[in-house]
Amino acid sequence: MDLRRLGLFLAVVDHGGFTAAAKATYVAQPAISLAVHELERELGAALFVRSRRGAVLTPAGEALVGPARQAARDVENAAAAVAEVTGLLAGRLDVAALPTLAADPVAAMVGRFRSAHPAVVVRLAAPADPVALFDAVHSGAAEVGLTDASAVGGLDAHRIGSQELVAISPPGTAVRGMTLTVKSLASCPLVLTEPGSSVRALVEAAFAEAGVSASLAVETAQRDAVIPLVLAGAGTAVVPATLAANAAAQGAVVRALRPRLRRVVMLVHRPGVLSPAARRFVELAGS
C-alpha cells in the first residue's frame, strides 16, 4: 500500500475535504482525488462520500484511519531511529494533554525536553476529556498523553505526580476561613466545565461521596473562561492550585478543600516501541 496515498487520505480526513487538504499539503486537488481513487480501487471500497459538508468518511474509510496513522507513525519512527544516532537532531513529537494540565505540569515537561533537544518540534494537542485523549493516543494521532488516573485501559502508564485542586471564588466573597468543606462547596453557585471533563468528574465524585449535589450556576466548554467567569462574579470554581495562584493575584478568594481533592497525573502511550523523541520525553518527564 502506497504511503503517499495514505498520507493524502489522512490529509483529507484531517482537513475535512479535498480542497482544504490541497491547500494544506500544497498538492493539486486533482492529484489528491486521483490518489484517493487509486487507494479505493486497491482496497475495493469507497473511502469517502462527497456531500455538502465536504468529504464524509464511509465505514471503510473510518476503519482505515487508525491503521493509516500507525503506518505514518511507523515511517516517522524509522526515520527518527536514524536521527537518534545523531542525537535527535530532527523530527517532531506529538503530545496530547488535558487542558487543565497544560500549564502544570506539561509546560515544564515540554520545556525540559526542548532544552535538551531544541531541533525536535513538539506539537501539543488539547483533547476535551480523557476519552478523547485516549482515542488520540490509541489512534496514533498523538504518541504521548498526559491525563489523570481515572482510566488508562489499554495503554502503558507512568505516574508523573499529583495535583491538588482548590476552590476559587469571586473577589470580595465573605469567608470564615481559608478552607471549604466539600459539602459547603456544593451549596455555592458553581462554574463547572462540561460533563465528562476531568475536573468535573473529580468534583462530582467528591459530591457523591459526601451525599450532596452541585448547585450549578454556569456550565462551560471553554476552559480558558473559567477563571474570568469567577473574577466577574459568576460563581465558584474548582481549579488546580497552580492556576488558583494566578487567580488570587487578580483578586479571587482561594480556599483549600476538605477533604483534600487531588488527582494523579499519568503519562500514557501505546504499548510497544516508542520513537526516540517519545522515549526521551518519557525519560525526562519524571526528572
Q: What is the mean pLDDT of the chain?
A: 89
C-alpha cell at 44: 475495493
CA–CA distances in Å: residue 156 to residues 140, 267, 274: 14, 8, 11
Using CA atoms in the order 233, 237, 239, 244, what is the torsion angle rounded to 10 degrees? 30
C-alpha cell at 174: 465573605
Min mean pLDDT across 5-14, 232-241, 247-256 is at 5-14
> What CATH code is carried by the domain that includes residue 38?
1.10.10.10
> What CATH code is carried by the domain that includes residue 179?
3.40.190.290
Question: Which residues are CB-neighbours of 155 under 8 A, at least 6 positions away?
Answer: 134, 137, 138, 145, 268, 269, 270, 271
What's the domain count of the chain? 2
Residue 188 pLDDT exceeds 90: yes
Considering the domain boundaries, does residue 12 fall inside one? yes
Domain that holds residue 47: 1-64
Is residue 117 within 8 A of residue 277, CB to CB? The reply is yes
Considering the domain boundaries, does residue 219 fall inside one? yes
Per-residue pLDDT band for 252 (boundaries 50, 70, 90) equals: very high
* Structure confidence by residue, pLDDT tens digits, 45-59: 999 998 777 788 999
Considering the domain boundaries, does residue 4 fall inside one? yes
pLDDT at 86: 58
Helical residues (DSSP H) of 180-251, grouped into ranges: 182-187, 198-210, 226-231, 241-249
pLDDT at 114: 94
pLDDT at 262: 92
